[in-house]
Protein backbone atom coordinates (compact mmCIF):
# COMPACT_ATOMS: atom_id res chain seq x y z
CA UNK A 1 0.00 0.00 0.00
CA UNK A 2 1.27 3.40 -0.78
CA UNK A 3 0.33 6.74 -2.17
CA UNK A 4 2.13 9.50 -3.92
CA UNK A 5 3.02 11.91 -1.13
CA UNK A 6 2.28 15.08 -3.07
CA UNK A 7 -0.57 14.10 -5.28
CA UNK A 8 -2.70 11.52 -3.44
CA UNK A 9 -4.61 13.61 -0.99
CA UNK A 10 -8.21 13.22 -0.04
CA UNK A 11 -8.33 14.65 3.47
CA UNK A 12 -7.94 18.38 3.91
CA UNK A 13 -7.81 19.88 7.37
CA UNK A 14 -7.82 23.46 8.63
CA UNK A 15 -7.25 24.56 12.21
CA UNK A 16 -8.93 27.82 13.21
CA UNK A 17 -9.83 29.59 16.44
CA UNK A 18 -13.53 29.65 15.59
CA UNK A 19 -15.60 27.88 13.01
CA UNK A 20 -16.68 30.24 10.20
CA UNK A 21 -20.33 31.24 9.84
CA UNK A 22 -22.07 31.22 6.47
CA UNK A 23 -20.60 33.96 4.29
CA UNK A 24 -17.71 34.66 6.67
CA UNK A 25 -14.01 34.59 5.76
CA UNK A 26 -11.68 33.82 8.64
CA UNK A 27 -7.98 33.20 9.18
CA UNK A 28 -6.82 29.73 10.10
CA UNK A 29 -3.47 28.89 11.65
CA UNK A 30 -2.73 25.43 10.32
CA UNK A 31 -3.40 23.54 7.11
CA UNK A 32 -2.82 19.84 6.67
CA UNK A 33 -3.46 17.30 3.98
CA UNK A 34 -3.51 13.55 4.14
CA UNK A 35 -4.90 10.35 2.82
CA UNK A 36 -7.84 8.62 4.41
CA UNK A 37 -11.16 6.86 4.22
CA UNK A 38 -12.12 4.08 6.60
CA UNK A 39 -11.22 1.21 4.28
CA UNK A 40 -7.88 2.77 3.37
CA UNK A 41 -7.05 3.50 7.02
CA UNK A 42 -7.87 -0.06 8.06
CA UNK A 43 -5.77 -1.48 5.21
CA UNK A 44 -2.84 0.74 6.17
CA UNK A 45 -2.95 -0.38 9.80
CA UNK A 46 -3.12 -4.06 8.79
CA UNK A 47 -0.27 -3.61 6.34
CA UNK A 48 1.89 -1.86 8.96
CA UNK A 49 1.52 -4.93 11.16
CA UNK A 50 2.76 -7.10 8.32
CA UNK A 51 -0.45 -8.21 6.59
CA UNK A 52 -0.71 -8.60 2.84
CA UNK A 53 -3.66 -6.36 2.06
CA UNK A 54 -5.73 -5.34 -0.95
CA UNK A 55 -8.02 -2.33 -1.04
CA UNK A 56 -11.05 -2.61 -3.28
CA UNK A 57 -12.26 0.86 -4.08
CA UNK A 58 -12.95 3.33 -6.82
CA UNK A 59 -11.11 6.59 -7.22
CA UNK A 60 -10.94 9.31 -9.79
CA UNK A 61 -8.23 9.30 -12.41
CA UNK A 62 -6.89 12.37 -10.57
CA UNK A 63 -4.95 10.08 -8.20
CA UNK A 64 -1.64 8.38 -8.84
CA UNK A 65 -1.77 5.01 -7.19
CA UNK A 66 0.43 2.06 -6.51
CA UNK A 67 -1.94 -0.15 -4.57
CA UNK A 68 -4.43 -2.74 -5.74
CA UNK A 69 -7.67 -1.15 -6.73
CA UNK A 70 -10.63 -2.08 -8.82
CA UNK A 71 -11.51 0.96 -10.75
CA UNK A 72 -10.80 4.49 -11.74
CA UNK A 73 -13.42 6.78 -13.10
CA UNK A 74 -13.63 10.18 -14.68
CA UNK A 75 -17.32 10.56 -13.75
CA UNK A 76 -16.68 11.76 -10.21
CA UNK A 77 -13.86 13.08 -8.07
CA UNK A 78 -12.14 10.82 -5.55
CA UNK A 79 -14.01 10.79 -2.24
CA UNK A 80 -12.83 13.59 0.02
CA UNK A 81 -13.22 14.82 3.58
CA UNK A 82 -12.69 18.49 4.37
CA UNK A 83 -12.40 19.18 8.07
CA UNK A 84 -12.29 22.46 10.00
CA UNK A 85 -11.33 22.20 13.67
CA UNK A 86 -11.58 25.11 16.15
CA UNK A 87 -9.47 25.66 19.26
CA UNK A 88 -11.96 23.75 21.43
CA UNK A 89 -11.53 20.69 19.23
CA UNK A 90 -15.03 21.03 17.74
CA UNK A 91 -15.14 20.31 14.07
CA UNK A 92 -17.25 20.63 10.96
CA UNK A 93 -16.69 18.02 8.30
CA UNK A 94 -17.91 17.86 4.72
CA UNK A 95 -17.57 14.48 3.06
CA UNK A 96 -18.08 14.20 -0.67
CA UNK A 97 -18.23 10.45 -1.43
CA UNK A 98 -17.73 11.01 -5.19
CA UNK A 99 -16.19 7.93 -6.82
CA UNK A 100 -16.84 5.80 -3.69
CA UNK A 101 -20.50 5.57 -4.64
CA UNK A 102 -19.65 4.43 -8.16
CA UNK A 103 -18.04 1.18 -7.00
CA UNK A 104 -20.52 -1.41 -8.28
CA UNK A 105 -21.30 -5.12 -8.53
CA UNK A 106 -19.31 -5.38 -11.78
CA UNK A 107 -16.24 -4.06 -9.99
CA UNK A 108 -16.72 -6.67 -7.27
CA UNK A 109 -16.92 -9.40 -9.91
CA UNK A 110 -13.61 -8.21 -11.31
CA UNK A 111 -12.16 -8.41 -7.80
CA UNK A 112 -13.71 -11.79 -7.00
CA UNK A 113 -10.32 -13.50 -6.94
CA UNK A 114 -9.09 -11.12 -4.24
CA UNK A 115 -12.31 -11.44 -2.23
CA UNK A 116 -12.77 -15.18 -2.46
CA UNK A 117 -9.13 -16.13 -1.79
CA UNK A 118 -8.65 -13.77 1.15
CA UNK A 119 -8.32 -14.94 4.74
CA UNK A 120 -10.47 -12.04 5.94
CA UNK A 121 -12.72 -9.56 4.12
CA UNK A 122 -13.40 -6.28 5.91
CA UNK A 123 -16.25 -4.02 4.79
CA UNK A 124 -17.53 -0.63 5.90
CA UNK A 125 -20.30 1.74 4.77
CA UNK A 126 -18.38 4.42 2.89
CA UNK A 127 -19.44 2.80 -0.39
CA UNK A 128 -23.00 1.98 -1.48
CA UNK A 129 -24.33 -0.37 1.28
CA UNK A 130 -25.68 -2.91 -1.24
CA UNK A 131 -22.17 -3.24 -2.73
CA UNK A 132 -20.64 -3.69 0.71
CA UNK A 133 -23.22 -6.38 1.50
CA UNK A 134 -22.53 -8.15 -1.79
CA UNK A 135 -18.81 -8.30 -0.94
CA UNK A 136 -19.68 -9.92 2.42
CA UNK A 137 -21.90 -12.43 0.63
CA UNK A 138 -19.18 -13.30 -1.89
CA UNK A 139 -16.69 -13.81 0.93
CA UNK A 140 -19.09 -15.95 2.92
CA UNK A 141 -19.90 -18.12 -0.09
CA UNK A 142 -16.18 -18.95 -0.36
CA UNK A 143 -15.76 -19.63 3.34
CA UNK A 144 -13.82 -16.40 3.93
CA UNK A 145 -14.13 -14.80 7.37
CA UNK A 146 -16.10 -11.54 7.32
CA UNK A 147 -15.48 -8.53 9.54
CA UNK A 148 -18.04 -5.78 9.11
CA UNK A 149 -17.48 -2.32 10.53
CA UNK A 150 -20.87 -0.56 10.60
CA UNK A 151 -19.37 2.87 9.97
CA UNK A 152 -20.45 5.51 9.24
CA UNK A 153 -23.66 4.70 11.09
CA UNK A 154 -26.79 3.85 9.15
CA UNK A 155 -30.12 3.80 11.02
CA UNK A 156 -31.93 1.50 8.60
CA UNK A 157 -29.14 -1.04 8.11
CA UNK A 158 -30.22 -4.01 5.98
CA UNK A 159 -30.60 -6.92 8.47
CA UNK A 160 -28.58 -9.14 6.10
CA UNK A 161 -25.47 -7.27 7.29
CA UNK A 162 -25.88 -9.06 10.63
CA UNK A 163 -26.36 -12.50 9.19
CA UNK A 164 -23.39 -12.11 6.83
CA UNK A 165 -20.94 -10.82 9.45
CA UNK A 166 -18.79 -13.25 11.38
CA UNK A 167 -17.72 -10.24 13.39
CA UNK A 168 -19.85 -7.11 13.63
CA UNK A 169 -17.93 -4.12 14.95
CA UNK A 170 -19.21 -0.64 15.76
CA UNK A 171 -18.44 2.24 18.13
CA UNK A 172 -20.74 3.76 20.75
CA UNK A 173 -22.35 6.29 18.38
CA UNK A 174 -22.98 3.68 15.73
CA UNK A 175 -24.38 1.28 18.36
CA UNK A 176 -26.81 3.96 19.52
CA UNK A 177 -28.01 4.67 15.99
CA UNK A 178 -28.48 0.94 15.34
CA UNK A 179 -30.29 0.13 18.60
CA UNK A 180 -31.70 3.43 19.87
CA UNK A 181 -29.83 2.91 23.17
CA UNK A 182 -27.32 5.64 24.11
CA UNK A 183 -24.09 4.04 25.33
CA UNK A 184 -22.94 5.93 28.40
CA UNK A 185 -21.47 3.11 30.50
CA UNK A 186 -20.47 -0.56 30.40
CA UNK A 187 -23.98 -1.72 31.26
CA UNK A 188 -25.39 0.08 28.21
CA UNK A 189 -22.64 -1.46 26.10
CA UNK A 190 -23.62 -4.92 27.35
CA UNK A 191 -27.24 -4.20 26.45
CA UNK A 192 -26.49 -3.04 22.89
CA UNK A 193 -24.06 -5.94 22.41
CA UNK A 194 -26.79 -8.45 23.32
CA UNK A 195 -29.30 -6.68 21.12
CA UNK A 196 -27.00 -6.68 18.07
CA UNK A 197 -26.02 -10.33 18.61
CA UNK A 198 -29.69 -11.30 18.55
CA UNK A 199 -29.90 -9.85 15.04
CA UNK A 200 -27.88 -12.78 13.70
CA UNK A 201 -24.11 -12.18 13.77
CA UNK A 202 -21.71 -14.61 15.41
CA UNK A 203 -19.78 -12.05 17.40
CA UNK A 204 -20.32 -8.38 18.25
CA UNK A 205 -17.63 -5.91 19.31
CA UNK A 206 -18.60 -2.45 20.52
CA UNK A 207 -15.56 -0.20 20.81
CA UNK A 208 -15.71 2.16 23.79
CA UNK A 209 -12.84 4.63 23.31
CA UNK A 210 -10.60 4.74 26.40
CA UNK A 211 -12.68 1.94 27.96
CA UNK A 212 -11.62 -0.55 25.29
CA UNK A 213 -14.34 -2.85 23.97
CA UNK A 214 -17.37 -4.92 24.88
CA UNK A 215 -17.53 -8.31 23.17
CA UNK A 216 -20.29 -10.89 23.04
CA UNK A 217 -20.55 -14.00 20.91
CA UNK A 218 -22.88 -16.85 20.13
CA UNK A 219 -20.33 -19.19 21.73
CA UNK A 220 -20.07 -17.08 24.90
CA UNK A 221 -23.32 -15.14 25.17
CA UNK A 222 -22.29 -13.30 28.34
CA UNK A 223 -20.88 -9.86 27.46
CA UNK A 224 -17.21 -9.45 28.27
CA UNK A 225 -15.40 -6.16 28.80
CA UNK A 226 -11.90 -6.04 27.30
CA UNK A 227 -10.28 -2.88 28.71
CA UNK A 228 -7.71 -0.74 26.90
CA UNK A 229 -4.47 0.32 28.59
CA UNK A 230 -4.32 3.76 30.24
CA UNK A 231 -2.52 6.16 27.92
CA UNK A 232 -2.27 9.91 27.41
CA UNK A 233 -4.46 10.47 24.35
CA UNK A 234 -3.37 13.26 22.02
CA UNK A 235 -5.68 12.67 19.05
CA UNK A 236 -8.22 9.85 18.89
CA UNK A 237 -9.19 10.44 15.23
CA UNK A 238 -9.05 7.15 13.35
CA UNK A 239 -8.63 5.00 16.50
CA UNK A 240 -11.57 2.83 15.42
CA UNK A 241 -9.92 2.16 12.04
CA UNK A 242 -6.63 1.29 13.72
CA UNK A 243 -8.55 -1.18 15.92
CA UNK A 244 -10.39 -2.77 12.97
CA UNK A 245 -7.20 -2.98 10.88
CA UNK A 246 -5.35 -4.63 13.76
CA UNK A 247 -8.18 -7.07 14.41
CA UNK A 248 -8.24 -8.06 10.73
CA UNK A 249 -4.49 -8.72 10.96
CA UNK A 250 -4.90 -11.05 13.96
CA UNK A 251 -7.86 -12.85 12.39
CA UNK A 252 -5.81 -13.50 9.25
CA UNK A 253 -2.44 -14.35 10.74
CA UNK A 254 -3.21 -15.68 14.25
CA UNK A 255 -6.59 -17.36 13.71
CA UNK A 256 -6.09 -19.72 16.63
CA UNK A 257 -5.76 -16.95 19.23
CA UNK A 258 -8.79 -16.67 21.51
CA UNK A 259 -10.97 -13.74 20.40
CA UNK A 260 -10.53 -11.96 23.71
CA UNK A 261 -6.77 -12.02 23.19
CA UNK A 262 -7.10 -10.66 19.64
CA UNK A 263 -9.24 -7.82 20.97
CA UNK A 264 -6.81 -7.10 23.79
CA UNK A 265 -3.92 -6.88 21.34
CA UNK A 266 -5.96 -4.73 18.93
CA UNK A 267 -6.82 -2.41 21.84
CA UNK A 268 -3.07 -2.08 22.50
CA UNK A 269 -2.37 -1.12 18.90
CA UNK A 270 -5.27 1.37 18.71
CA UNK A 271 -4.16 2.89 22.01
CA UNK A 272 -0.72 3.52 20.49
CA UNK A 273 -2.42 5.36 17.60
CA UNK A 274 -4.19 7.81 19.94
CA UNK A 275 -0.86 8.93 21.41
CA UNK A 276 0.19 10.70 18.18
CA UNK A 277 -1.69 13.22 16.06
CA UNK A 278 -3.22 12.49 12.69
CA UNK A 279 -4.92 9.37 11.39
CA UNK A 280 -2.71 7.13 9.22
CA UNK A 281 0.33 9.06 10.39
CA UNK A 282 -0.36 7.85 13.95
CA UNK A 283 -0.67 4.15 13.08
CA UNK A 284 2.21 2.09 14.45
CA UNK A 285 4.48 -0.24 12.48
CA UNK A 286 5.20 -3.77 13.65
CA UNK A 287 8.89 -2.99 14.24
CA UNK A 288 7.98 -0.24 16.73
CA UNK A 289 5.60 -2.35 18.82
CA UNK A 290 6.33 -4.70 21.73
CA UNK A 291 7.14 -8.06 20.17
CA UNK A 292 4.81 -9.93 22.52
CA UNK A 293 1.97 -8.56 20.38
CA UNK A 294 3.08 -10.97 17.64
Active site residues: 241
Question: Is 212 a residue that touches ligand ADP (CB under 6 A)?
Answer: yes
In the bound state with ligand ADP, the residue whose beta carbon lies nearer, of 134 and 172, is: 172
Return the closest-CA partner of residue 242 out of 137, 178, 169. Answer: 169
The CA-based angle 142-135-37, given to 5 degrees, is 135
Does residue number 243 form part of the binding site for ligand ADP (CB under 6 A)?
Answer: yes
DSSP lists the bridge partners of residue 33 as: 12
In terms of CB distance, is 38 or 58 closer to ligand ADP?
Answer: 38
How do the residues of the chain divide into helix, strand and coil, expressed in percent and rounded to 5? 35, 20, 45
243 or 249: whose CB is closer to ligand ADP? 243
CB of 240 to ligand ADP, least distance (A): 2
- 134 and 115 Cβ atoms separated by less than 8 Å: no
Among 12, 154, 231, 257, binds ligand ADP (CB under 6 A): 231
Decide if residue 218 touches ligand ADP (CB under 6 A): no
- Contact between 197 and ligand ADP (CB under 6 A)? no
Q: What x/- string results for residues 250 through 289 when contact with ligand ADP is judged by CB under 6 A?
A: -----------------x--xx--x---------------
CA torsion angle 191 196 202 207 (round to 10): -70
Angstrom distances, CA of residue 207 to CA of 40, 51, 122, 241, 281: 19, 22, 16, 11, 21
Minimum distance of ligand ADP from residue 233's CB (angstroms): 4
d(CA 177, CA 90): 21
Is 151 annotated as belonging to a binding site? no
> Of the candidates 102, 127, 228, 252, which one interacts with ligand ADP according to CB under 6 A?
228
Name every residue whose Cβ is closer than 8 Å to that of residue 198 and which is 6 or more positions away in sequence: none
Strands (DSSP E) contained in 120-243 are 120-123, 145-149, 167-171, 203-207, 213-217, 224-226
Task: Select the span of 98-106, 190-198, 206-214, 276-284 touching ligand ADP (CB under 6 A).
Answer: 206-214
> In angstroms, what CA-CA distances link 44 with 55, 154, 214?
9, 24, 24
Task: Tell me whether residue 21 or residue 230 sits nearer to ligand ADP (CB atom).
Answer: 230
Which residues sit in the known binding site for substrate? 37-41, 126, 241
Which residues sit in the known binding site? 37-41, 126, 171, 207-212, 235, 237, 240-241, 267, 273, 276, 278, 282
Residues that bind ligand ADP (CB under 6 A): 171, 207-210, 212-213, 228, 231, 233, 236, 239-240, 243, 267, 270-271, 274
Amino acid sequence: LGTHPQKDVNVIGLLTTQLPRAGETILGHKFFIGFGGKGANQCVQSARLGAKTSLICKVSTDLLLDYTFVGQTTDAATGTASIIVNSEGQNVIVIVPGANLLLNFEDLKRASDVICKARVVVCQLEITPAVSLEALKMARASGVKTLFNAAPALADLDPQFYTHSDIFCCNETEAEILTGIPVGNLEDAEKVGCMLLERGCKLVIVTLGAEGCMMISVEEPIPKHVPAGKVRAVDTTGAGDSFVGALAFYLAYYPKLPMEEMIRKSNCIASVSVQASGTQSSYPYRKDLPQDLF
